Chains A and B, each alone.
Chain A
């Protein structure tokens, strides 16, 4: 049995009234409750009775909103942590590479030790180039881990 516009408006208003502040969660709950009410009305074709039965089964929608917010916050904290760790990893890599480039330059100009500088300069250049070999130039993403399991790609 399909609900009419008036019944849909009642459900929409009641969900908001019960403290569901997120539009996204409200959309989910609205459709879910409508499906359950429609199913319930196949047995008992009384909207009020069917709706009250369904809403009782749901429990507190405000608590559901709080729990959803907590879950989203937890996910965002995790994402933030991974993002910061990935930035730190790239930063560390670049600093190391720059140091490796500076050492031969220092050796060359300070001590004129051509052999040491000839060995360490390619290492420094390689260290500087390797992080950028994983840049997806089409999307301008650095892919920090080779296995692609990282949930975050750094935008540059």
Chain B
């Protein structure tokens, strides 16, 4: 059971977050410049007021995958006697962020029309 929890972000709709995890991370890095892993998880929790909780089991594979895709680059800084790795966007990463955000925005519009959604009160 806990293996399942490790992969899936603990929230009310984990499947939706799974598909948008890269977009979320890219957008956060685009807004904040550079961030480290723990900071990313805390930032997501703060922004969503605890509604979305990205677990380490989802975060680090995604971050390392994006480094391999050359969308992100890392910068190591020594803080409190330990190495802290900051992630930041590359040139390709910035282009990908815009692309992903546009894609997601279009998807939301389509879903809005398709499901005939009404604003939540």
- What does DSSP make chain B's interface, helix, strand, loop or mixed? helix
- What does DSSP make chain A's interface, helix, strand, loop or mixed? helix
Whether B68 and A32, one on each chain, are in contact in the complex, defined by CB atoms closer than 8 angstroms, is: no
How far apart are the CA atoms of A36 and B37 in the complex, in Å?
11
Whether B95 and A31, one on each chain, are in contact in the complex, defined by CB atoms closer than 8 angstroms, is: no
The residue from B38, B57, B64, B76 contacting A59, defined by CB atoms under 8 A apart: B57
Number of A-B contacts (CB under 8 A): 87
Assign chain A's interface to a size class. Answer: 20 to 34
Q: A67-B57, A72-B68, A151-B92 are in contact. List 8 more A-B contacts (CB 8 A).
A: A2-B80, A31-B84, A60-B3, A68-B60, A68-B61, A76-B68, A151-B69, A151-B71
User: Which chain B residues numbered 73 to 98 have a C-beta less than 8 Å away from chain A?
Assistant: 74, 76, 79-85, 92, 95
> B87 CB to closest chain A CB, in angstroms?
9
Chain A residues engaging chain B, CB cutoff 8 angstroms: 2-3, 5, 8, 24-25, 27-32, 34-36, 58-60, 63-64, 67-68, 70-72, 74-76, 78-79, 148-149, 151
